Chain A
Amino acid sequence: MTPSDPVIRLENVYTAYEGADRPTLTDISLSIGKGEFVVIGGPNGAGKTTLLETINGMLAITHGKAIVCGQDVRGDGVQVRCRVGYLLQNFAFDPLTPFTVEEVVLMGCYGTIGLFRKPRTEDYVEVKKALHLLGIEDLATRPIGQLSGGQQQKVLMAQNLARNPEVLLLDEPFSNLDMFAREEINRLLARLVGSGITVLIVSHAFDDLPDRPVRVVVMQEGKIVVSRECPPKEVEQVVRSAGKGALHA
């Protein structure tokens, strides 16, 4: 993979869930470069989360080709997931869950450490760095079940940063955060993008986006209907007009 090659390249990709009688994603083609900031919008059920899980190989591709970080997703999704962070949309931990924040963040490195191996010193260093980036070092020894939803979201974000991902897939990362935490996360995302990490974010909140050109991808019924660059302030307008266009089509 050369520096100019796209980090994510999808060619005519189709994805279907087991037992479904039609594909969830149809004929998706997308090329995303290193350090791009991509906002994925669209109505509920449009296939936004499915797109993220197709990119990291958690969902099977039935047709087409997907190359992420230079690796064929259809060949070995596990290798791709070691290099791609993915913040899931839904989580809720039992207050009695016996895991501390530090342990949960360290889990982010488990795939890269490999089977039968113990975490290395550098993994613990990465955990500390990730906790520091999110400003939650003071929570390190607290049980994750006893934290608020927003704090848990930050912990899972730190978990994804701990393995130094080349691509970060974020599914509704602001859903549990207050306005201060949102601003904080947006500043962090801007820094990550600046350092060359590609960020794809599924969101319905388009204010406070990093002050830099953003690629907007709008999805409708499992297809990409818009994919273009625009200033952050216009993202909401692009998503709205694409939605109206589809409604009147």
Chain B
Amino acid sequence: MPEKGLYMLEFIIQNNIVCHAVEAMLFASVACAVLSVIITQVQISSIGFTMAHAAFAGAAVGMFLSLNPTVCSIVAGVAVAFLIGPLSDKARLSPDTSLGLLFGICMAVAIFFIAYMQTLGQGFSAMGLLFGDVISLYREEIYVLAVICVVAIAFIVVLYKEITAIIFDKRIAESVGIRVKPVYYAMLFVIALTVALCLPIIGGLLLYVWLVTPAAIALQFCNRLAAMFVVAPTVAAVISISGALVGLEYSLPVAPLTAVLFSVVFIAAVLLSPRRRVTFRKI
């Protein structure tokens, strides 16, 4: 029976566990996949690792201070999201270098607190952040993912012109009269916020895949950025829902299975891509 609250896919999928897993995979994959187009085109794929380790550090600090580790991991992720843009500007570093720096700092903080807690006899497991937990989700967590999905899509729709110009060339975008800096910071923030909020639910492994692979698959077939913004989330949703259904049906780990499915589809996309086709026509 569907539980109380706002119904989504309960009418199609009767089993609550499967239904929640499918909804989570759908919303998170679409959110991450639309953002993957920006991430791959602006070449900031390390944002996934950095945010994952920010969340990891937040959870470790939360455990140490006896606070809710999930809330702390989200707070740490959001804090790092605010830092990425200004840090690259003030320190005159490329966004990728800034992400690398923050990644190192976050990892150091996380390892320090884990090691310290072990000396105090307290345990801490990082496995939850790596694989997530899509089979024991509360309805509220699904709502969070649905909201993230809407925010990511709305962000791209509302600032589509500015985002595409920045993806094309930041200096050209500036020269045509676009306020590049605030849009760019907002772009990094929305990506980082999505990662921070999806990570505890979905896990880092699948998140990394979602942040890069859907756009890489779309790029094999699309000559236009607008098409990529449609193809990437569509492909991601189909593969992710299939992964969840197959994984739950045959008791296989959902996140790794879905990640493997993405890899298979990517290889197939590269092989079938018309971009590498050479014409042998003479006229």
* Complex CA–CA separation, A156 to B168 (angstroms): 12
Q: Is the CB of B172 within 8 A of A99?
A: no
Interface string of B159-193 (1 = CB under 8 A from A): 10110110011011111111100000000000000
Chain B: interface secondary structure? helix
Question: Within the complex, what minimum Cβ distance (angstroms) separates B227 from chain A?
Answer: 8
Interface: A119 (CB within 8 A): yes
* A81 and B176 in contact, given A88-B171, A91-B169, A99-B224 (Cβ under 8 angstroms): yes
**CB-CB nearest in chain B for A117:** B161
Q: Interface-forming stretch among A3-11, A100-108, A187-195, A227-235?
A: A100-108
Interface: A163 (CB within 8 A): yes
Q: Is the CB of B164 within 8 A of A107?
A: yes
Interface: B225 (CB within 8 A): yes
Of the four ranges (under 10, 10 to 19, 20 to 34, 35 or more), the interface on chain B belongs to 20 to 34
Chain A: interface secondary structure? loop
Q: Is the CB of B174 within 8 A of A81?
A: yes
Question: Within the complex, what minimum Cβ distance (angstroms) separates B126 from chain A?
Answer: 36
* Complex CA–CA separation, A112 to B178 (angstroms): 9
Interface: B120 (CB within 8 A): no
Q: Is the CB of A56 within 8 A of B175?
A: yes
Interface: B223 (CB within 8 A): yes
**CB-CB nearest in chain B for A111:** B177
Taking Cβ atoms with an 8 Å cutoff, the residues of B that contact A are 41, 92, 158-159, 161-162, 164-165, 168-169, 171-179, 219, 222-225, 227-228, 275
The 8 closest A-B pairs by CB, nearest first: A111-B177, A82-B177, A81-B177, A86-B175, A98-B225, A111-B176, A110-B161, A143-B223
Supplied contacts A81-B174, A107-B165, 12 more A-B pairs, CB within 8 Å: A58-B174, A79-B177, A82-B177, A88-B171, A96-B275, A98-B222, A100-B223, A103-B164, A107-B164, A110-B161, A110-B162, A159-B176
A-B contact pairs, 21 of them (CB 8 A): A58-B175, A78-B178, A79-B177, A81-B175, A82-B176, A96-B219, A98-B223, A98-B225, A98-B227, A99-B164, A99-B168, A99-B225, A107-B161, A107-B164, A107-B176, A110-B176, A111-B177, A113-B161, A116-B158, A119-B161, A156-B172
